[in-house]
Amino acid sequence: MSFTSKVYKKFKELYGDEPIIVRSPGRVNLIGEHTDYNNGFVLPAAVNKSVYAGISKRDDDTIVLYAAEFDKHFTANLHALAPSKERWPDYILGVADQLQKQGFILSGFNMVLDGNVPIGAGMSSSAAVECATAKALSELFSLDLSRIAIVKAAQSAEHNFAGVKCGIMDMFASVFGKKGQVIRLDCRSLEYAYFPLDLQGYEIVL
């Protein structure tokens, strides 16, 4: 069963509603470790492992989350958002918090998260969750966020809610990645260009 089908099935089971489902990939970086948060150049690429988020509106101000990988539920109030002791909800709540601080109007929502980006393996599972959340909220509430706005909202969530002063590379690669391409990104100006990557039988090992 695909992850889209798994998220849909679990969403219907938990909430009995029709979800919007979005996908955000993890990433690998080939050149430029630690230079992204020092405003240097990096050469990342999106990978074929992703986070999937299903979302629907609620009629109140409650946020109800379910993480399939942990088999855990979490509930919060949209107008009283704060970092949690469980940590994993922070990457979702932080994005909602940042969007509200930017003046976007949200209401409560239900969400199911699943995927196959390995946690703690250097493939930016947290950035994939944040970007998926920003895209899902943009679709659900018709916010019309641009790709770069999604990237910046995700980075702000990481800085101000999760407490990690990361660079912008992880989120940028997740949102701007293209199949068969690497991205040369200037993390200072955010100028970027795509270059084809044909490994011809070689593999990247993390």
Strands 181-186 and 192-196: antiparallel
Residue 199, burial from CB neighbour count under 10 angstroms (0-12, 13-18, 19+): exposed
Cα gap 10→179, rounded to integer Å = 29
Cα gap 123→25, rounded to integer Å = 9
Identify the CA nearest to 125 among candidates 26, 193, 31, 32: 26
Under DSSP, is residue 94 helix (H, G, I), strand (E, B) or coil? Answer: helix
Cα gap 96→120, rounded to integer Å = 23
61 is catalytic: no
Backbone angles phi, psi at 98, to 5 degrees: -65, -40
10-14 contact pairs (CB < 8 A, 24+)? 10/54, 10/66, 10/68, 10/112, 10/114, 11/54, 11/56, 11/110, 11/112, 14/66, 14/110, 14/112
Q: Which listed residue (59, 90, 170, 198) is catalytic?
A: 170
- Residues serving a catalytic function are 170
